[in-house]
Chains A and B, each alone.
Chain A
Amino acid sequence: MKVLVPVKRVVDYNIKPRVAADGSGVETQGVKMSMNPFDEIALEEALRLREKGQADEVIAVSIGPQVAQDVLRTAMAMGADRAILVQTEAEIEPRVVSSLLKAVVEKEQPGLISMGKQAIDDDMNATGQMLAARLGWPQGTFASKVEITDGKVSVAREVDGGTETVALTLPAVITADLRLNEPRYASLPNIMKARKKPLETIAADSLGVDLTPHLKIISVAEPPERKAGVIVETVEELVEKLKTEAKVI
């Protein structure tokens, strides 16, 4: 079984994003970029399935500009067997990404798609569900545990009231939540080896998908700032202030 792992290149999670002065978006020029952390978790899960003998090949795919090759090299350094870049310099939304991924899925015929539940830039939390819908495949979102047996995947999902488990007939889409696993680091020898692994580039506009967004970004602004308050010295003073000043207890 092949496992397809879509990965996105995003502003590194340790960087505090800065809104561009013209309000058009968030600054990405000269900012450290990395693989979306949820995608790292999804990739780790795919690698573990291969190590358990439940998958034969792990393919990383990214939709984005040419520089997105760097996250695909990272994916291969972590252990992906090969990578595909669906290249476009255009700003694309999850709707378009899921259409492009569907085209890749039809070509590669994976038995499982393991992807992050959301990207930490647009926080949309949509691409996995949309891809599953387009393929007519079942979905296991917000996964905290994944087990494959007899053509099915059992997915424990983090839901509002606790943990829900579903059983999905393969092929299926799973989206990784934070606690699914702890992704490995790429070792230096593996980083070197990854340079020799195959990376195929496909032009996005060759896949017959309309790249025009349906959701237009009008402007991006800083959220209103909160002012720092006062330091109190004793719990009695705190309780007094909460009662008489903030009037909240």
Chain B
Amino acid sequence: MSTGNVESWTGNMSEIGAVYPFVGMETTLMIAGIVFWVWWHICQVRSESRELEEEARKHGNAETMNKVLDSSDPSKR
């Protein structure tokens, strides 16, 4: 019993091809991989949009921005 095409490392080794488990599932794996990739982007874009909106709301006022600008202004250090 093996999850792949290999049950022994003896015999004619030149007959051994793919050695990963579940040979024959490649297309399913590819689709799952692409879905994971697209899902990652959707999650990331949503999360980034929320964060940027929140930051713009929180820091988008004269007091915060002036404080940050003062801290990086060489003439005010």
Same complex for A and B? Answer no
